Chain A
Amino acid sequence: DAGVTQSPTHLIKTRGQQVTLRCSPKSGHDTVSWYQQALGQGPQFIFQYYEEEERQRGNFPDRFSGHQFPNYSSELNVNALLLGDSALYLCASRPGLAGVGEQFFGPGTRLTVL
């Protein structure tokens, strides 16, 4: 049973560019969340998707947007990249929207903005 998968593993972009990160949830999971983890910090919640809709959003600007597909996979898009967007981007999944189970995290995408 594959866990949460993310692609790419690493990415280097320059300021002002746009980037798309991808996530496939664990089998049987339909809720996907995205987190940003700066070096030496705890992860920060970006948003959560369920049934192809953004259900909750953290304190991130509109440059951060997302999408969930009918197969439950998800994309995170970041426009007009800033140096401060350099971070590890983590995707997490779990079954259902209001469950009490744990969220499983993927390996992450390391984004470097030059």
Chain B
Amino acid sequence: DAGITQSPRYKITETGRQVTLMCHQTWSHSYMFWYRQDLGHGLRLIYYSAAADITDKGEVPDGYVVSRSKTENFPLTLESATRSQTSVYFCASSRDRGFEQYFGPGTRLTVT
């Protein structure tokens, strides 16, 4: 029972490069979310998806792109990474709206 997985777990990239963070869940949950976690800011929502091919912006979407062609996958792409995007990124899924979220282990991204 894999649940929800993220890859890579750690990533170092240079400013200006494109990088994609992967998220995969095995529960067929409808909702999926991307958060970034920085000291002093808690968890901030970047994008979320209610179903395949349905995505919407969260609190801090600038500089990020998402897609959801399949229910189980929700990749997050940084089109041109900046140092301010250095953070820990968590993916989460939820059975339906208003239900509890299950978080992946996180990806620690460093942009140099």
Query: Do the two chains bind?
Result: no
Q: Which residues of A contact B (CB under 8 A)?
A: none
Q: Which residues of B contact A (CB under 8 A)?
A: none
